[in-house]
Amino acid sequence: MNIPKLKKIKSEKKYHDIVIKDNYSWVDQPNILEVLQDSNKLLPEVRQFIDKNNVITDNYFKDVKNLQAKLFNEIKSKIKLDDTSLKFKDKKYYYWVKTETKGNYGKKIRQIIDGSEPEEIYFDGNLEKKRYGSEYFGLGSVCVSHCDKLMAYSLDLKGSEYYTIYLRNLENNKNESDIIENTSGSITWSLDSKSFFYSKLDKFHRPREIFKHTIGSSVKDDELIFSEKDETFTCGISLTSDEKFFIITTSDHITTEEYFFSSVSNNIKPILFQKREKDVRYSIDSWKNFFYIHTNKDARDYKILRCKVDSINEFEEYIPSKKETVIGGLDFLDDFILRSEKSDAIPKLFVRNIKTNHEEEIKISNEAIGSPGFSLMQKNTNTSKIRVSWESMATPGRIYEYDILTKEKKLVKEVEIPSGHDASKYTVERIKAKSHDGRMIPISLIKLKNSKQDGKSKILLYAYGAYKHSISPSFSASRFCLIDRGITFAIAHIRGGGDLGDVWHEEGKKKLKKNTFLDYIACAKHLIDHRYTFKGGICFYGGSAGGLTGGALANMAPELFFSMLLLVPFVDTMTTMLNEKLPLTPSEWELWGNPISSKEYFEYILSYSPYNNLKEKNYPNMLITTSLFDNRVLYSEPIKYIAKLREVKTDNNDQLLKCKTEAAGHGGMSGRDNAIKELSEEYSFILKTAKILN
């Protein structure tokens, strides 16, 4: 196989008296953000390298094309293609969503509550994609005005997350002339339906300004109502639960500041709620003349305070913090408050009677490990009925109509697996591994009940480990394409994520980031020691910041893996953190540290950054993906990584690069079939490298 090589151009840059040598730094072209909008600006040499690698990857998969087709059909057979969501009862209409066997996008439907008019499809994703003639169809928001006569929606037609907002008159189904480009995609209507709010992207792709657009007026006349001066902060706007206030939220990853103004005010003057305080996050909502504040001040895993809306400095503790328990936010009914909390990576639901202040847990299932949820059924909050849901790694989702007063529970929807699914065939386990510093790391796993724990099985060990993101032990029908072929599926709830709260996140970021990688290694070794698998029997699967985890592990413990999937991976961490002009970099310094201003952070990031630590050693089989239009992890990172990896590696394994040159985003190509196709390819790589080809 003729492996393409990138040309080398010697580059040495000095930071804090430390020299970084990078022969591929030229790939980080200065106008790289322009490439996100126009791929013709990509350097020709890079384009040639991408094209040659895509050919190599396609050739690699030629002998498993039949397996890919089989997997595609298997995955699709597990999805109820013709499906309808439950209806939400708004003020005048029922609203719901429908998918069909044909087409890749859903339909948004409504009907007048009294049934006097037929159902109305007010947004058809398949027709809209055809209307705009774009290969990629990224839907940001679809928001119907409070008067039910207008619809604003936002589209990204390349994958680079520059959203354009359009306006449609639902009475004649025709678009108005109002078009707003380069937005974040969010849309929030005013109560009088005469205007809406949106966030504008700056030249670095950061939403730092909020505008009010009046229907029918020129975009040039839009009113700037908020501007964030700190380049590390970004902002957005929302409406409170009682619709009495608009809330402007501005934040970085660890600090929040919020403003509010009356939802009926014509003269907008946002009022500061609480001044930003480093490492303090809070969010406010209003209900029945109270502001409810969800905050981590003096409560790392949050508590709930409240105050009268006219006395915003006089707080009372409403729901106290709990040790090693994450307190979630609130939803409101006239007589009840709903909330969630999580401990030991297991979520729970609670309901509180506002009049008596009595609170109790809503128990949905007898399964010990799963993912519960709740949602409101209607706009009118004068009710005791809600919807509650449950799913686990073995059990498809079920939604119940639940009466808070009578405790009656009625099944109203169940995820249907058309090809069939028998949950009793599988075993779900929660085990724990001791990390290097004594921390016990939870592992959730599912396997065939009849599989032997003899140390011979292969295992897919998924991980993320960043941004305080929790990985729920939820149901995924497609995973059973692997599980039914004898591969155990496991989740390592490693630090850096939020599975066990804020401390769990804090212990996996900045100068403690290596805990993330060491936690994973501890989980892998625990699974080997307890004969779930063997050394070299593990497949790493992770994307974005999870790809950073995988890239670091490839350097630290490559012998653990037979295969690794690094999907849109954040592998050139140092280069990105040194470029303050990239969309996410300034706000990311609160997670990784600022290597520009701090020698300590520079040295620490340099010590684990996957690209900088590639060495002469054996590396596992790898499938590495990226997209030319991905603004979150730029295409340059995986391209430089694969070029250097092939330069230094000493193995004969296959390390593949697949770069999407067609319109695609951080999450891949748009559309249901494209998503299934990509997953089939990933699964075929896992099965081929596992030598399971049935």
- Give residues with Cβ within 8 angstroms of 549, minimum separation 6: 463, 464, 465, 466, 494, 496, 516, 517, 520, 542
Distances (CA, A) of 466 to 45, 345, 438: 33, 15, 20
pLDDT of residue 94: 98
12-76+435-689 CATH, one of 2.60.40.650, 2.40.30.10, 3.40.50.1820, 3.30.1330.50: 3.40.50.1820
- For residue 1, name the pLDDT band (cuts at 50, 70, 90): low
- Give residues with Cβ within 8 angstroms of 258, minimum separation 6: 247, 248, 249, 250, 272, 273, 274, 282, 283, 284
**Contact present, 348 and 364 (Cβ < 8 Å):** no
Cα gap 242→25, rounded to integer Å: 52
**CA quadruple 622, 441, 326, 349: dihedral sign:** positive
Domain ranges (residues) in the chain: 12-76+435-689, 83-133, 135-227
Mean pLDDT value across residues 486-512: 95
pLDDT of residue 649: 97
- Give pLDDT tens digits for 537-583: 999 999 999 999 999 999 999 999 999 999 999 999 999 999 998 88
Q: Across the chain, what does the average pLDDT equal?
A: 95
Distances (CA, A) of 602 to 20, 435, 505, 619: 11, 25, 21, 26
- Give pLDDT tens digits for 324-379: 899 999 999 999 999 999 988 889 999 999 999 999 999 999 888 899 999 999 99
Predicted model pTM: 0.91
- Give pLDDT tens digits for 176-221: 999 999 999 999 999 999 999 999 999 888 999 999 999 999 999 9
pLDDT of residue 666: 76
**Contact present, 641 and 572 (Cβ < 8 Å):** yes
Lowest mean pLDDT among 647-651, 656-660, 665-669: 665-669
**Contact present, 527 and 459 (Cβ < 8 Å):** yes
pLDDT of residue 158: 86
pLDDT of residue 420: 96
**Which of residues 657 and 670 earns the better pLDDT score?**
657
Cα gap 468→345, rounded to integer Å: 12
- Give pLDDT tens digits for 93-109: 999 999 999 989 999 99
Tell me: pLDDT of 248 over 70.
yes
**Contact present, 167 and 216 (Cβ < 8 Å):** no
DSSP 24: T
Question: How large a percentage of the chain has pLDDT more than 70?
Answer: 99
3-state secondary structure of 412: strand
Tell me: pLDDT of 665 over 80.
no
